[in-house]
Amino acid sequence: MRKFGLIGFPLSHSFSKKFFTGKFQNESITDCEYDLFPIEDVNSLPELIAQHEELEGLNVTIPHKLRVLQFLDEIDEAAADIGAVNCISINRTQGKPHLKGFNTDAYGFESSLLPMLDVHHTKALVFGNGGAAKAVKYVLNKLNIPYLIVSRNPDQDGLNYEGVTPELLKDYTVLINTTPLGMSPNADTFPEIPYDALSDKHLAYDLVYNPEETSFLKKSKNRGAKIKNGIDMLYLQAERSWYIWNTQ
């Protein structure tokens, strides 16, 4: 039996297990299973891999996307540029497990963003500067879309939310929320920006997917903006993980 799984802590609810279990059933893949490995200390990863000799791949979620790097034998170029890994392939053909890290979040974000972009979507505001923003910034750089980071405690190159003015929003027409604002159960929270300044020239993309339409997306849609939640990104990154595990 080929085994795959997810490491992180806590893992109270997992999209990944539900997705892959359903995929295996729907596609009649009978020789694979997907398990959850809620490890609080990332230093227990080598022991986990040693205990499960049939393990061929792992997804990685918070808080280990950065901490896991020290255990990898190889890292994909894109993941190295991003500085975070959310997918690991485990190759045992040489005896000792060979761990290679990838970032499928970037693939999922780029693939879901591209169909939404119009010619006037030339500059972006990224809300939040945590781990989730790393893949977003990588993709924007790749697509040559200049961006500003908006956060509560900005660095010297960033803005706070008070700095997002109607004037600024005339030029920055792509708005990307990488924060947990609006995520269930806190569905009434949202980035504090002047939504009245938005128009049908704007695109609002929220990495949050629960609820399906966050307050950020609702407020943007009410001003005529295109909106997109993070569910397609989630499915795309999961499928990319499956591709990696079967080709690397």
User: The domain spanning residue 208 has which CATH number?
Assistant: 3.40.50.720
Q: Please list the alpha-helical segments (H only) found in the chain.
A: 15-26, 45-51, 77-82, 104-113, 131-142, 166-171, 215-221, 231-247
Q: Which one of the listed residues 65, 137, 219, 228 is annotated catalytic?
A: 65
> Is pLDDT above 80 for 12?
no
- In the chain, the largest separation of any two C-alpha atoms, in whole Å, equals 61
Interval 25-56: pLDDT, tens: 999 999 999 999 999 999 999 999 999 999 99
Interval 100-156: pLDDT, tens: 999 999 999 999 999 999 999 999 999 999 888 999 999 999 999 999 999 998 887
Question: What is the rounded average pLDDT of the residues 227-238?
Answer: 97
| Cα dihedral 173, 236, 82, 67 in deg (nearest 10) | 130
Domain span at residue 172 reads 106-232
Interval 66-100: pLDDT, tens: 999 999 999 999 999 999 999 999 999 888 999 99
What percentage of residues in the chain have a pLDDT greater than 70? 100
Q: Is residue 22 part of a domain?
A: yes
Is there a contact between 176 and 127 (Cβ–Cβ < 8 Å)?
A: yes
Does 83 share its domain with 193?
A: no
Q: Is residue 185 part of a domain?
A: yes
Interval 156-212: pLDDT, tens: 789 999 999 999 999 999 999 999 999 988 999 999 999 999 999 999 999 999 999
219 is catalytic: no
Beta bridge partners of 6: 36, 59
Final residue of a structural domain among 72, 102, 132: 102
Does 69 share its domain with 117?
A: no
Question: What is the rounded average pLDDT of the residues 236-244?
Answer: 98
- What confidence score (pLDDT) does residue 39 get? 95
Does 20 share its domain with 65?
A: yes
| pTM assigned to the model | 0.91
